Amino acid sequence: MTCKFCGKKVAEFNCESCGKLICTDCAKIELHSYGCQSVYHVAYCLDCESSFLVRLFKRLFIKK
């Protein structure tokens, strides 16, 4: 299956937020931990990553 974001490469991940199939170039990968001894990766597409950063920026720096 091809990447739903760029349409060029083979998709290797599902976006954690929207579920799109994405390739390694279009994936923004974060490491998450569960407890002290387990670490796993979470992939986001570029749209979901940018919208997350916008929401985080607004929450941290814009006072209502």
Instruction: Convert the pLDDT of each residue in 31-59 to its tens digit.
Output: 878 777 888 888 889 888 888 776 777 66
Q: Note whether 2 and 43 are within 8 A (CB).
A: no
User: Would 43 be classed as within a structural domain?
Assistant: yes
Q: How confident is the model at residue 62 (pLDDT cuts 50, 70, 90)?
A: low
User: Would 8 be classed as within a structural domain?
Assistant: no
Pairing of strands 28-34, 38-44: antiparallel
Domain count, the chain: 1
How far is the C-alpha of 35 from the C-alpha of 57, rounded, in Å?
Answer: 27
User: Would 25 be classed as within a structural domain?
Assistant: yes
User: Would 4 be classed as within a structural domain?
Assistant: no
Structural domain harbouring 54? 13-61
Predicted TM-score (pTM) above 0.75: no
